[in-house]
Amino acid sequence: MVGMLAVGAISSSPVSADNYPSWNDVVAARSSEAAKEAEISRITGLIDGLQTQVGQAQAAAEARWQENQTAQTAYNTASVKADQLESKAAAAKTKAAESHTQAAILAAQFARSGGNDLSSRLFVEGDKANDLLYQLGAMSKLSESTTGIYQQAQIDQNTADSLGEQADVARNALGALASTAQSALDEAVTTQQTVGAALIEQQSHEAELSVQLQALTTNLDLTEDQYKAGVQAAAQAKQAADEAARAAADAEAAAPAPAPSSGGSDGSAGGSAGGPSEGSSGGGEPSAPAPSAPVVNPPQSYNGDAVVAYAEQFVGVVPYGWGADPSDSFGCDGLTQYVYKQFGIDLPRYVPTQAAQGVRISSSDARAGDAVVWSGHIGIYDGQGGVIHSPDWGRYVTHAHSLWGSYYFVRFL
């Protein structure tokens, strides 16, 4: 319930579509210093509000994913305990059956050696009484042994019954734990979608608001066409900055790892080096983060193999560029935006915003058609350890047959 309230609290945007200023509002604000200052304050507040909205959504999503992981861990732990109790109960039941069988065999032997047969032999064979009395003593010992075996059989049966009851209780509790884990997953997915919506809202308006603010604070006398060109330039500058960040991250990932100390390995596993420009590099297993898989992973809402097959047609054909159309060019996020759109998934541009539209899944659950995300780069997972992506300037869409660096998988819903 707390999670649901938190989702509701951040789902309502602090700004609505009709609150964003138009270019005409900016022009009108120049009529007086007071109007200009008021408009500057308004635009600054909107920019801050967008940033706050994204931050709150991301914080809520992190909390929901942590709750999901906690619920999943509780389910997994309880499932293991139930399995162990059932195994112990089965072993105890087998032991109890063996004890009962042994006791029954000894009881039958005692019955055949005692009773009326023993009394007759004492009367007829008086000269051998000492031998018979010895046999009587032996049978008394046998009787004591039989009693002990019977008692042990009862103890073993009680143990089996107790363990069986404990296993039933543990197994029955799994239903509630699974339900809790599923609810936590649903809430995590919902808050992750809220993050995506907040990032789209920010991406859609931040560049325009920044240009409006600049026009007011610097008293630039812009025409509407110049204003529109400025908004486009601001968006391209944002994308260029993201490309530069990606290149820097790729260069860092491609840097040679330090030589291991003479004391041996530190236990960490390294992946194959290289950025998008070296996506086909081999050697070693890729290094990927391993977030805990949900109890039930969200299913794909599309045919993953069909997504890969569709993207394959652009390999070696469409060059890298700013575009998101095969007739022009594909940026890495342009390729994913175009391909997934053909399967009913509408994605924005900008890698973090695209990644936020889906949910992270474990590498063990990744399937063809899921997205692979690096810092500032994204591609389409082929399901076989490789990726179809648009790597860099001067190159074409590529099908790399291995992954590299530090990455994670995302499934779009």
Cα dist from 81 to 69, 296, 376, whole Å: 18, 20, 42
Percentage with pLDDT > 90 across the chain: 19
Exposed, middle or buried: residue 77 (CB in 10 Å: 0-12, 13-18, 19+)? exposed
**Which pLDDT value is given to residue 223?**
61
Lowest mean pLDDT among 141-145, 204-208, 379-383: 141-145
Measured on CA atoms in the order 287, 292, 294, 295, is the torsion positive or negative?
Answer: positive
List the domain boundaries for the chain: 2-222, 291-412
Strand partners, 373: 378, 408
Question: Range with the lowest mean pLDDT among 122-126, 292-296, 309-313?
Answer: 292-296
Q: Region 363-386: what's the mean pLDDT?
A: 94
CA separation for the pair 165, 167 (Å, rounded): 5
Mean pLDDT of 236-258: 57
| Residue 261: pLDDT band with limits 50, 70, 90 | very low
pTM over 0.85: no
What is the residue type of 58?
A: Q
Which among 275, 298, 304, 281 is positioned nearest to 380, based on CA atoms? 304
Q: What is the DSSP string of 119-182?
A: HHHHHH-GGGHHHHHHHHHHHHHHHHHHHHHHHHHHHHHHHHHHHHHHHHHHHHHHHHHHHHHH
Between 284 and 41, name the one with better pLDDT: 41
Buried b (16+ CB within 10 A) or exposed e, 1-33: eebeebbeebeeebeeeeebbebeebeebeeee
Higher-pLDDT residue of 109, 388: 388
- Euclidean distance between CA atoms 413 and 189, whole angstroms: 9
For the domain 291-412, what is the CATH superfamily, name and number?
A: endopeptidase domain like (from Nostoc punctiforme) (3.90.1720.10)
2-222: which CATH number, 1.10.287, 3.90.550, 3.90.320, 1.10.3470? 1.10.287
pLDDT band at 383 (very low <50, low <70, confident <90, very high): very high
Q: Which of 273, 274, 272 is nearest to 286 (CA)?
A: 272
Q: State the Cα angle at 113 between 111 and 114, rounded to 5°.
A: 70
For the chain, count helices (H), then strands (E).
9, 8
Which SS3 state, helix, strand or coil, does residue 22 take? coil
Mean pLDDT, residues 375-403 taken together: 94
Per-residue pLDDT averaged across 39-66, rounded?
Answer: 83
Mean pLDDT in residue range 168-180:
81
pLDDT category at 140 given cuts 50, 70, 90 is: low
Q: Which of 75, 71, 69, 11 is nearest to 359 (CA)?
A: 69
| Residue-level pLDDT at 110 | 63
If one counts every other C-beta atom within 10 angstroms of the C-beta of residue 160, the result is 20
Average pLDDT score over residue span 223-231:
67
In this predicted structure, what is the pLDDT of residue 396? 95
Nearest CA to 389 out of 330, 343, 341, 340 is that of 330
**pLDDT tens, 314-327?**
999 999 998 999 99
Q: What is the mean pLDDT of the chain?
A: 73
pLDDT band at 367 (very low <50, low <70, confident <90, very high): very high
Instruction: Read off the amino acid at residue 200.
Output: I
